[in-house]
Amino acid sequence: MPASPIRKLVPFAEDAKKRGTKVFHLNIGQPDIETPKVCLDAVKNCDVHILAYSHSAGNESYRKKLVQYYAKNNIHVTAEEIIVTTGGSEAILFGFMACLDAGDEVIIPEPFYANYNGFAVQADVKVVPISSSIETGFALPPIEDFEKAITPKTKAIVICNPNNPTGYLYSAAEMETLKEIVRKHNLFLFADEAYREFCYEGTHTSAMHLKGAEQHVVLMDTISKRYSACGGRIGAFITKNKEVFNAAMKFAQARLSPPYYAQVLGEAAVDLPDDYFDTTKAEYKLRRDTLVKSLNEIEGVFCPNPGGAFYVMAKLPIDDCDKFCQWLLEEFSYNGNTVMMAPATGFYATPGLGKDEVRLAYVLNATDIKEAANCLKEALRIYPGRQ
């Protein structure tokens, strides 16, 4: 089981704090935006006398609310096509377990969300990476690269849109390319759309928008980032493929039911006004622009401007990102501050890739982001392994 590149440095950060160093946490996608009060109030005011199991697919009232939410995004599903999951993580794991047998292969453009590796280990399936490049802003690799990677054991392609860790927003044309591949080779398309609301340039094309691919698509979703409710652990597994749905339901039944109170929270969230995301998106765009500008002003640093989510990948003039990120926490401070980032090696499956890259989450306010960037600039000036 691989260690999480996002969390493995936590002990070093804790030690730094004990020494009195302030740590700017740009390592993890934990928003500092407040969870909507109406959602928290729905839980506080929930008049439940027995905290019972919900249906294994989730409360029917919540699933019906989700139908309304998706309809606003031009995604037309029924409550019978939705399984409420324990976070988006469980939705992804259900997809791997329901659609792939031990030894099967899943193709994922890299760099990719590190926990896909962990889910693949749990499901005993092999991740086959196709590399994208920071020089192209991590655009979808050409169709020929997918064709070369497909074998008789290939069963699915995973796409995260907008992407974690790169922030890349896949275009409608790129999504159509994926549709062409999965239809031609009879593969599943697992679509992780946790960051749907956070698109800053261009529009979001859901895998559920791909006409003619309905039986191939499995949508994985979560309320974690959308409503800044990461601790609620509520996601969704959605498909129009009845056979896949029935297989996933067996896993849903085996874990009994998703968390009850967080379903209440999620249900209330659907009734938030349509303009709820406007302020949040504007704040994240400000943070993105601040971070990308600040990073590219540092000598030797290159950071493409991402179209969505709340992450950037940056190329640094360093020898080894794992060593550098640990050094920042163990040995460095600037004006009593240091910065915590995620080493990019953990987001690649191909050995050797990402050694001079890091992922930064712009989940802090713009003032803190500027301070963190100044801290990084000073660190790169004195780092012994600077290239």
- pLDDT per residue as tens digits for the range 150-168: 999 999 999 999 999 999 9
**Average pLDDT, consecutive stretches of 10 residues, N- to C-terminus, the chain (387 residues):** 83 97 95 95 97 97 98 98 98 98 98 95 97 97 97 98 98 98 98 97 96 98 97 98 98 98 98 94 97 98 97 98 97 97 95 97 96 98 96
Nearest Cα to Cα of residue 361 among 123, 4, 27 = 27
| 293 Cβ neighbours under 8 A, 6+ residues apart | none
Question: Cα-flanking dihedrals φ and ψ of residue 131, to 5°?
Answer: -80, 135
CATH H-level superfamily of 10-34+276-382: Aspartate Aminotransferase, domain 1 (3.90.1150.10)
| Residue 6 pLDDT | 75
pTM of the model: 0.96
Instruction: Please provide the DSSP assignment of 158-204 as one string.
Output: EEESS-TTT-----HHHHHHHHHHHHHHT-EEEEE-TTTT-BSSS--
CATH 3.40.640.10 for domain 37-269: yes
Q: Give the residue range(s) of CATH 3.40.640.10 domains in the chain.
A: 37-269
| Residue 4 pLDDT | 81
Angle of the 366-382 helix axis to the 276-296 helix axis, nearest 10: 20
Q: Give the residue range(s) of CATH 3.90.1150.10 domains in the chain.
A: 10-34+276-382
Nearest Cα to Cα of residue 280 among 198, 350, 356 = 198
| Residue 7 pLDDT | 82
Q: For residue 93, how far is the Cα from the chain centroid?
A: 14
| Residue 153 pLDDT | 98
Instruction: Count CA atoms within 13 Å of residue 155 on its CB side.
Output: 18
Exposure b/e, 45-60, CB count within 10 A at least 16 = b: eeeeeeeeebebbbbe
